[in-house]
Amino acid sequence: MAKTIVQTVDFEARPEVLFALYANSKKHAAAIGASARISGKAGGPCEAWDGYMTGTTLGVVKNRVFVQSWRAADWGSEVADSLLTLFFEKRGNGGRVTMVHANVPESQYAGIKAGWTEYYWKPWKKCLSVGSSRKGKQRKN
């Protein structure tokens, strides 16, 4: 039976910065430390983690919502794609990402749920803190 993962994470970055971190292939790859190719247009292909994750962009509302089909390379052909929806919103001086990952195979649920934190949210926070410290150094010069 398929399951749904819902996670909400606050960042010290505006929603448009967070959106670009996911939707821009170069920024996505830099943030996660692995290859990524993300199409920002409906019907375009998506791939991350050296091809481990593949999918198709289903819909985009710039800086607000990103929707894609999503599957892992180790899912059997009998397993349907999951549906990933990311919502980006302003939160105080920063932003918030709410991730809804539906139709996740039960056998993959625990690993994928933990994986979002380990392989996305933690690296994003690290990437964003490095970026802000670079900006701070530039201002001092």
Mean pLDDT for the chain? Answer: 91
Confidence label for 131 from pLDDT (cuts 50, 70 and 90): low
pLDDT of residue 130: 76
Which pair of structure tokens corresponds to residue 46? 């998506």
Model confidence pTM above 0.75: yes
Which domains, ranges and CATH numbers included, belong to the chain? 3-140 (3.30.530.20)
DSSP state string for 43-97: T-EEEETTTTEEEEEEEEETTTEEEEEEEETTS-TTSPPEEEEEEEEEETTEEEE
